[in-house]
Amino acid sequence: MKRNRRVKILATLGPASSSEEMIRKLHDAGADVFRINMSHTDHGSMRELVRRIRNVEEAVGRPIGILADLQGPKLRVGKFEDGKVDLAIDDIITLDDNPEPGNATRVYLPHPEILESVKAGDRLLIDDGKLQLVAEASTGRAIRCRVVAGNRISDRKGVSLPDTILTSGALTDKDRVDLEAVLEANVDWLALSFIQRPEDLIEARKLARGRAGILSKIEKPQAVERLDEIIELSDAIMVARGDLGVEMPLEQVPGIQKRMTRAARKAGKPVVVATQMLESMISAPVPTRAEVSDVSIAVFEGADAVMLSAESAAGDYPVEAVSTMNRIAVEVEKDTLYPGIIFAQRPAAEATGADAVSLAARQIAETLNVAAIVTYTATGATGLRTARERPQIPVLALSPIEATARRLSLAWGLHCVVTEDATDMEDMVDKACRLAVQQGYAKAGDRIIITAGVPLRTPGATNMIRIAYIGADGLHAA
């Protein structure tokens, strides 16, 4: 199925979209990658969702990516004697290690890592910032806090720590168990929540051992401060605007989104923009005009993918949400301003053979206005470097490895095809011409650009560009 856009759509599965029939409808409406949220999915349900996605993949005949989103550390206060307490500005409340029900002066905080890490002056945001506290003193077992905003706290509300670096890593015991389960199910991407520092990625990379790509969700101020280091250790990143907007001033989030999008593109790593993109479509069949503008900005910025969360997982209009996002993206990419904006943001090529070939292929393709760029990629690296160039010519990424093609389904502009490796140079050119025609990107008489590595089947050795003419039989015309 040929898409008429370059940006990809990542749709979250949930109660409104877990059947195989609905997954197929979401794919046909425009979803390229499906997200399974492990905060709300047990292992049996996860495996069943993977099975259904793979059935749809087989039916449609094109690779579909699966992203498993690990829960990460969920930090919450304990319970209160009356379920909640009312507070006033400048009231003092202590968060401690006493498991007894709380009251207006204290509450249990079942997270020793917070009690040990918070320092005087650090902020603690409760219930997505509805209640804001400032630590005045900490003993390692209790934190004495002053209320600076808000007036109520209730059972099991979440705690955000915009000023504190926790001593514990990003993976919890639940995450480790979930990680092994999703890897056994052969998902393509692992999303790590609440990353604070590059070191948080090390354990996940060791456990994954290359079996899935690592996507870091940037939702903490500490992660923004060390963004370049985190990108270097990640295979992709997500602009997780929900928690980011809680822990940082809301007015800073748009600028951070732009910075992250450009930094990821410079590194040649996919970047996903997420959270509240079409939030009103949870309960309405059409989005607000502001939401349409929000999605369009992410597309104009050159994000690799835009994501739907509750809109597709639990909303009343999951298919309509995906279809709406698809229409917005198609229309933006048809806009006369779009190529110029994408070109203006293009990073300089790095001094590598793969970047030099990708840059030259894009320049030749756009100069000659060829029908398509066809790139052979075993590991996915060449495909990502080609996507980094954001060519205005369609790109077919051919790979003999199914897992590579699935993973690349998250990357900007790549139409992925699983095919047997070429046997020799002539077979490579013929296969590229034939698939370009079969996939609807070229016809007899067209020219295509081919990039590959010579000798063949040598990972990471992209060093060849070939211009090929397509003959009447759909093969290379000598």
Catalytic sites, residue numbers: 35, 76, 217, 275
Three-state secondary-structure class, residue 477: coil
User: 303 near 241, Cβ under 8 Å?
Assistant: no
CA 273 from centroid of its chain's CA atoms: 7
Taking residue 252's Cβ as centre, other Cβ atoms within 10 Å add up to 13
Burial environment of residue 77 by CB neighbours within 10 A (0 to 12, 13 to 18, 19 or more): buried
Apex 105 CA angle, 100 and 109, nearest 5: 45
Phi/psi of residue 61, nearest 5 degrees:
75, 25
CA 178, 181, 183, 187 dihedral sign is negative
Q: What's the Cα-to-Cα distance from 66 to each of 14, 219, 291, rounded to whole Å?
A: 14, 21, 25
Are 244 and 253 in contact by the 8 Å Cβ rule? The answer is: yes
Residues 225, 368: Cα–Cα separation, whole Å: 43
Contacts of range 205-211, beta carbons closer than 8 Å, 24 or more positions apart: 205/233, 207/176, 207/179, 207/180, 207/183, 208/179, 208/183, 211/183, 211/186
Report residue 292 as tokens. Answer: 């349409």
Retrieve residue 277's tokens: 């993109």
User: Phi/psi of residue 104, each to 5°?
Assistant: -70, -10
Strand ordering across the sheet containing 414-418: 414-418, 395-399, 372-376, 447-453, 462-469
Q: Distance between CA atoms of 289 and 299, rounded to whole angstroms? A: 16
